[in-house]
Amino acid sequence: MISNYNYKTKVYFVATFITTYALWFAGAYVSFQEGIKDLYMIFMLPGLMAPFLISLVMIHRSKNSDLKTDFINRLTNLRLIQPKMLPVFLLIMPLSVLASIIISLPLGGSVSQFQFAEGFSFSTGFVPVLLLLLLAAGFEELGWRGYAFDSLKSRSTYFKASIIFSILWSLWHFPLIFVNNSYQYEIIHQNIWFGVNFFVSIIPMGVIISWICIKNRKSIPAAIVFHFLVNISQEILNISQTTKCIETVVLIVVAAVIIALDKEMFFSKEDLAFEAD
- In single-letter form, the type of residue at position 31 comes to S
Residue 100 and residue 118: Cα distance in Å, rounded?
20
Closest CA to 208 of 269, 146, 268, 254: 254
Q: How many residues does the chain have?
A: 277
The residues assigned a catalytic role are 140, 173
Answer whether 123's CB lies under 8 Å from 38's CB.
Answer: no
Query: What does residue 116 show for φ and ψ, rounded to 5 degrees?
Result: -70, 140
DSSP H stretches of helix in the chain: 9-30, 41-62, 65-76, 86-104, 129-143, 149-153, 158-172, 183-190, 192-215, 220-236, 241-261, 263-267
> In whole angstroms, how large is the CA radius of gyration of the chain?
19
Closest CA to 64 of 3, 11, 12, 139: 3
